Amino acid sequence: MPLEIRPFQEADEADVIALWHLCELTRPWNDPHKDIQRKLTEHRELFLVGLTDGKLVATVMAGYEGHRGSINYLAVDPNFRQQNFGRQLMKVAEDLLRALGCPKINLQVRPTNQAIIEFYSRLGYDTYESLNFSKRLEHDDK
Ligand SMILES: CC(C)(COP(=O)(O)OP(=O)(O)OC[C@H]1O[C@@H](n2cnc3c(N)ncnc32)[C@H](O)[C@@H]1OP(=O)(O)O)[C@@H](O)C(=O)NCCC(=O)NCCS
């Protein structure tokens, strides 16, 4: 089945959040509505959705801050996996980042998520040792 890939539109929001829940990408401390609103102010053209037969089945939220690209919220509906949809979506995201002049993509995955580790390895991503630091500047759950 072909996958139509296009930038996110506001009317997609409910379907996108339902997909993130289905793919267990939501976390209590991240409000998905707020995550979407924030993304719409920063390279919104890098927030992509994939549709097949009119149904929203995939998302990826890429980013670029002038040094490195990022990938978040990569999701393919469990009923539509292993059909190259994830690979196709990542190809479009990488092409958009490359067109912006982005030289390298860094992304984080949970070390327990063996499937995603295998997926990114297949797409040519290498792992490297690093410690990830983070600091909350805004609390979604308050
Ligand atoms: C990871 C995910 C996006 C893959 O989507 P997908 O459409 O099934 O992947 P594709 O069909 O494009 O697969 C691309 C390659 O990865 C491999 N692959 C995909 N899922 C795999 C799995 N679970 N185990 C092993 N290999 C896998 C495929 O075999 C394929 O390899 P090949 O092209 O060399 O033959 C999907 O499983 C998903 O949404 N997972 C849950 C959400 C998630 O964990 N997101 C990442 C958050 S960091």
Q: For the domain that residue 20 is a member of, what is the CATH number?
A: 3.40.630.30
Q: What are phi and psi of 52, to 5 degrees?
A: -130, 130
What are the strands of the beta sheet with 55-64, ordered from one edge? 4-7, 47-52, 55-64, 69-76, 105-106
Question: Is position 136 within any domain?
Answer: no
CB of 113 within 6 A of ligand 1: the answer is yes
Which pLDDT score is estimated for 141? Answer: 80
CA separation for the pair 120, 115 (Å, rounded): 9
Per-residue confidence in pLDDT tens, the chain, 142 aa: 899 999 999 999 999 999 999 999 999 999 999 999 999 999 999 999 999 999 999 999 999 999 999 999 999 999 999 999 999 999 999 999 999 999 999 999 999 999 999 999 999 999 999 999 999 999 998 6
Question: Is position 103 within any domain?
Answer: yes
Domain that holds residue 20: 4-122
Domains held by the chain: number: 1
Q: How far is the CA of 29 from the centre of ligand 1 (A)?
A: 25
CB of 109 within 6 A of ligand 1: the answer is yes
Question: Is position 135 within any domain?
Answer: no
